[in-house]
Homo-oligomer: A and B are copies of this chain.
Amino acid sequence: MSGEPLTERQETVLALVVHEYIERASPVGSKRLVDRYSLAVSSATVRNEMASLTESGYLRQPHTSAGRVPTEQGYRYFVARLLGDTDLPASEKRLISHQFHQATSDVDEWVRLAASVLAAQSRVASLVTAPLPDRTVFKLLELIGTQGRQVLMVLVLEGGDVRQQMLTLSEVIGQTQLRQTAEQITASCAGLDANGVKAQSSRFDVLGREIADLVAETLERADEFSGGELHRDGLANVLSQPEFADSDRGRNALKLLEERSLLEEVLAKALSPTVGGVQVVIGGEGAWEELRDYSMVLARYGATGYATGTLGVLGPTRMSYGRSISAVRYVAGLMSNLVVEAFDA
């Protein structure tokens, strides 16, 4: 299995099989290959190469005397070595970039747009998480008394993210004192993270301590939850792939896409935490049984030190990797720019 390196001709055959299978979704035979790509060799030769590729584990036969289908190993080799550099056509890029520039400055809007663009370009399902600050850093606190002991706490984070929370104090406190406390905490804690705020806590009076601890807690919670809200789009794309014509498989695919927790886990684990580069996960890479028949093309976007998020596409292993990779790369780039702009503003 996969001992010797492939000869050039074997690589050609493998590439053609992958290409043809992705396009036609049915096992590809030697004759069809020679015909459609007018190869210089005969079908018998191709057959021999195919047999050899099958033996080394790059191809597989669904049944005796059907054509060949790439194995996961075959796809991996293809993506790693045979898939040339791909890029979106300049016209597409302009179109997409234009859409992004037209969008309002709402983060959610960007996320939705990214998901929609990815789905349209890759023709499979897309996943995008909202960008989240790497390290949640406190910037400013406001306390707004409403009535009685109810107080609205508004917490502004570095990067412009805002959290609010209602809280019930143990006694009624006047607006002036609330304001003073808020100012005090803002003054001594601005620029600190959860631990930093907790450390400062002892410097305040009873009320201040109570609030500061709450602030620290909120910061911590924001840290833990390491992925923003997950947006999806293009689910219907996946369903229209012929391998999911069978309604059982289709339902399965959809269940997978609906399973937030699994997707979040995969995104979190599969993806290196640094920005840059597109990662391709084929067939779950052995780690996720549920993803056996699926592949993902993922990227982190944003900028370390600022905020990062994840985006990518998910489809059957038989998906157009070229299209997906170029789309993911380009959209990730756009989103990164947006994040940086938002932070530097």
Contacts and interface: CB of A to CB of B under 8 A. Distances in A.
Contact of A250 (B139, B162, B239): B239
A11 interface: no
Interface string A140-181: 101010100010101010001010111010000000000000
A63 interface: no
A154 B152 contact: no
Interface of A: 105, 108, 139-140, 142, 144, 146, 150, 152, 154, 156, 160, 162, 164-166, 168, 229, 233-236, 239-240, 244-247, 250-251, 254-255, 258, 342, 345
A24 to B, nearest CB: 18
A345 B151 CA distance: 9
Overall SS of chain A's interface: mixed
10 contacts: A139-B144, A142-B142, A160-B164, A162-B164, A233-B258, A235-B235, A236-B251, A236-B254, A239-B247, A240-B251
A142 B233 CA distance: 36
A166 B160 contact: yes
Given A233-B258, A250-B247, A251-B239, A156 B152 contact: yes
